[in-house]
Structure 1
C-alpha cells in the first residue's frame, strides 16, 4: 500500500448518522466529537466498510451485498453494543460504512481482513481517532 493511499484514508471525512438525525464527522488524529460521547463511554469503537475491497472499485450490487454481510458479522460479535450507519468521504469517493461500538481490535482486524479492507478508523473511549492498517502485508497495524 503506497503512502498516497494512506494519506487519502488519513484525510477522509468519516460521517456517522446520529440517532435523532443529522451527521457527525470523525477525523483521524482528532478527538471524538462530543455528540458521540454518550454512545461510546469508555468502549472500543470502529468505523469500517466492506465496500471496494483493496480500494478497488466494485459494482454497486457487489458492494451492497458485502456491506450486508459485514453488518451481519458485526451483529454476531458478542461485544457489539451499537451499530450506526456511516459514510466515508474522501476526495472523489464515497463509501457506505458502519460505526460500531464494543468489539475489540482483534475482532475488527479479522473482519477488515475478511472483507479485504486496507484500513479502518478506530478508537477507545473518548480518545483520538486512529487509522489502523489491516492488510496482511506490511505495513500493518497503527498508521504512524
Structure 2
C-alpha cells in the first residue's frame, strides 16, 4: 500500500499490522478487499474495473467506514487493485466479499494480526486476533 507521506508498506497474512498503518487504524477493524476476478476466475479488465467501482460505491455507503485507501493486492504471479478500508464490521465486509464473489479477503482488528477470511463455498471463517 502506498503511504500518504511517501513510500510503501505491505500487509502480510498472520503477521502484525505494519507500524506505518497503526495510526490509520487506531482501535478500528479493517479490511483489504477487491472486486477483481470474482470466484478467482480471470475477467476482462473492463469488467474488473466496473466491479471495483461498484465495490467502492458500496464501501462509501457503509456507515461504519472511517476511511478508504487505494491499494494493490500482490501474489506470486498476480497483482490487482484493492482497497484498504478502516472501520467496517466483519459482517459488513463478509457481505461485500460475498456480493462481489470473492473467495477471501484479509482483515484485522486494531493492531492485531492480519487474517485471511475465506468467504465462498461455506460460511466465512477466520478471525483476527
TM normalised by structure 2 equals 0.94
Provide closer, same or farther for how the CA distance between residues 21 and 105 of structure 1 changes in structure 2, counting only shifts above 3 A. same
Q: Which runs of 5+ in 2 are unaligned?
A: none
Aligned to 2:5: 20
1:14-59 Cα distance to aligned partner (Å, 9 max, x none):
xx22112322100000000000011100100000000000000000
Tell me if structure 2 keeps the 8 A contact 1:86–1:97: yes
RMSD, aligned CA: 1.2
Runs ≥4 residues deviating over 3 A: none
Q: Which runs of 5+ in 1 are unaligned?
A: 1-15
Normalized per residue, the structure richer in strand is 1
Which residue among 38, 41, 45 is the counterpart of 1:53?
Answer: 38
Tell me by how many angstroms 1:139 deviates: 6.7
* Alignment of 1:71 onto 2:56: yes
Equivalences for 1:128-139 in 2 at 5 Å? 128-135=113-120, 137-138=121-122
* Alignment of 1:103 onto 2:103: no
1:55-98 Cα distance to aligned partner (Å, 9 max, x none):
00000000011001001100110010111111111111111000
Aligned to 2:109: 124
TM normalised by structure 1 equals 0.85
Aligned to 1:10: none
